């Protein structure tokens, strides 16, 4: 099935192709037509299955033809459990908006930062991605209204309850109109998620996507423990001393990608980046530079990294860990394809060790953590 067959307009299709996606993920094939029809949907799918684009594309499809509203009444609300997910979804929206008929304002709001810039920036926002606690704070400050939202998306609903957001969610649901389109995604369908469905008066189409199996048996997985200040020097040490000829390095944000490329270049390592904040031409040129013209390192975020195909890639490096075990498997699955050998390297600080243990448990594979204290990193 192609993206063209899903009912998306030329503008959205153009953005999809610019981002390097060749065909829809299974969840996208099933969910996008349902959301475009205005029906409620409950999707049971793992993080990393392509579910974010499931709601991003149909939402943008509808909004690009809608009248621009300059007020504090949000039209689309996306509730998420964590700051990291809010930022990631906002990046996906921005990546897909380059070719639309008009500008569509999106904003991610979350706790842990000053509320004042978020309050000031709320006017004219059409798509709001928010954590429940910060959203309630903003509503209490009269920064916005959700009484007229047309579309509610709840992502990682099961994690909302794991993190104790049940009470906040109930308060928010009471402020929303009964008549709205609701899209809910969860990794599991437990009692609390089912109760949420009833609370929202949903009569959804249910779509469940089984876990995708990725063959990682031919991939040697390595893990190194470093101090935060030695993370960059150790990466450069690895590249130079281990004579890494080609590697795809994954980071968690566009800012991290640009910073890493800059530092690699300063140390005479030829590196390029692809991410959603670069133009189509820049992404295409950088990918060509890596594939053909001698760039040693390609730095990518998960969003852009998932859409590219590189033949015979010998090495993948996780400079920053992904959010989910499935994303981890998708990342390292870029190497070791078609029976070839590949290497996946993880560079970990103390803050990442617990998450890496979770990833190993989900994979059913133990990876020995190698110490690096005795390595002389002077000059790297």
pLDDT of residue 323: 85
Query: Using one digit for the tens of pLDDT, what is the confidence trace for 154-203?
Result: 998 888 888 899 899 999 999 999 899 999 998 888 888 888 877 787 78
pLDDT of residue 304: 62
Evaluate whether 75 touches 127 at the Cβ level (below 8 Å): yes
- CA dihedral in degrees (348, 354, 358, 359; nearest 10)? -10
- Which residues in the chain show pLDDT less than 70? 20, 47-48, 211-214, 280, 303-309, 338
pLDDT of residue 125: 94
pLDDT of residue 198: 78
Partners of residue 370 on adjacent β-strands: 224
* Segment holding 357, helix H or strand E: helix 350-363
pLDDT of residue 344: 95
Please name the residues in contact with 26: beta carbons below 8 A apart, sequence gap of 6 or more.
Answer: 49, 50, 209, 212
> And the tokens for 369?
């953590």
Residue 171 has what DSSP assignment? H
pLDDT of residue 212: 62
Domains of the chain: 3-208 (3.40.50.300), 219-371 (3.40.50.300)
Could you give the CA distance from residue 322 to residue 53 in angstroms, rounded to a whole number?
Answer: 17
Could you give the CA distance from residue 74 to residue 77 in angstroms, rounded to a whole number?
Answer: 7
How, if at all, do strands 315-318 and 76-79 pair? Answer: unpaired
Phi and psi, residue 240, nearest 5°: -80, -50
pLDDT of residue 200: 80
> And the tokens for 35?
């959301």
DSSP letters for 284-308: HHHHHHHHTS---EEEE-HHHHTT-
Residue 365 has what DSSP assignment? -
- Cα–chain center distance at 19: 14
Instruction: Report if pTM > 0.75.
Output: no
pLDDT of residue 305: 62
pLDDT of residue 18: 74
From the list 133, 154, 126, the residue with the least C-alpha distance to 52 is 154
Could you give the CA distance from residue 26 to residue 44 in angstroms, rounded to a whole number?
Answer: 12
DSSP letters for 104-137: --EEEE-SSS-SHHHHHTTTT-SEEEE-HHHHHH
Evaluate whether 184 touches 43 at the Cβ level (below 8 Å): yes
- CA dihedral in degrees (197, 201, 203, 209; nearest 10)? -20
pLDDT of residue 21: 75
Indicate the length of the chain as a whole number. 380
């Amino acid at each position: 099935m192609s993206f063209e067959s899903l009912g998306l307009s030329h503008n959205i299709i153009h953005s999809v192709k610019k981002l390097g996606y060749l065909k829809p993920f299974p969840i996208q094939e099933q969910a996008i037509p349902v959301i475009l029809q205005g029906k409620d949907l409950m999707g049971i799918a793992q993080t990393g299955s392509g579910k974010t684009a499931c709601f991003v594309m149909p939402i943008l499809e509808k909004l690009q033809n809608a009248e621009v509203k300059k007020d504090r009444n949000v039209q689309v609300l996306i509730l998420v459990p964590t700051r990291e997910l809010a930022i990631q979804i906002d990046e996906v929206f921005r990546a897909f908006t380059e070719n639309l008929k008009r500008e569509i304002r999106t904003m991610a709001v979350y706790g842990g930062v000053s509320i004042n810039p978020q309050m000031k920036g709320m006017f004219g926002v059409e798509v709001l991605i928010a954590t429940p606690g910060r959203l309630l704070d903003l509503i209490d400050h009269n920064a916005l209204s959700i009484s007229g939202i047309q579309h509610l998306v709840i992502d990682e609903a099961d994690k909302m309850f794991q993190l104790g957001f049940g009470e906040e969610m109930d308060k928010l649901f009471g402020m929303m109109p009964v008549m709205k389109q609701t899209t809910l995604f969860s990794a599991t369908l437990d009692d609390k998620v089912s109760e949420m469905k009833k609370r929202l008066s949903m009569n959804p189409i249910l779509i469940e996507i089984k876990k995708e199996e990725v063959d990682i048996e031919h991939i040697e997985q390595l893990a190194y423990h470093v101090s935060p200040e030695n993370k960059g020097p150790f990466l450069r040490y690895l590249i130079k001393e281990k004579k890494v000829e080609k590697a795809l390095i994954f980071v968690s944000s566009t800012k991290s990608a640009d910073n890493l490329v800059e530092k690699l270049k300063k140390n005479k390592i030829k590196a390029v980046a692809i991410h959603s904040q670069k133009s189509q031409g820049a992404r295409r040129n950088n990918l060509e530079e890596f594939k053909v013209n001698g760039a040693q390192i390609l730095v990518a975020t998960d969003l852009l990294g998932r859409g590219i195909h590189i033949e015979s890639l010998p090495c993948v490096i996780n400079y920053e860990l992904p959010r989910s075990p499935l994303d981890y498997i998708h990342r390292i699955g870029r190497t070791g394809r078609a029976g070839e050998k590949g290497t996946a390297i993880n560079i970990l600080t103390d803050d990442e060790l617990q998450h890496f243990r979770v990833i190993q448990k989900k994979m059913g594979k133990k990876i020995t953590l190698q110490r690096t204290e005795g390595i002389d990193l002077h000059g790297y």
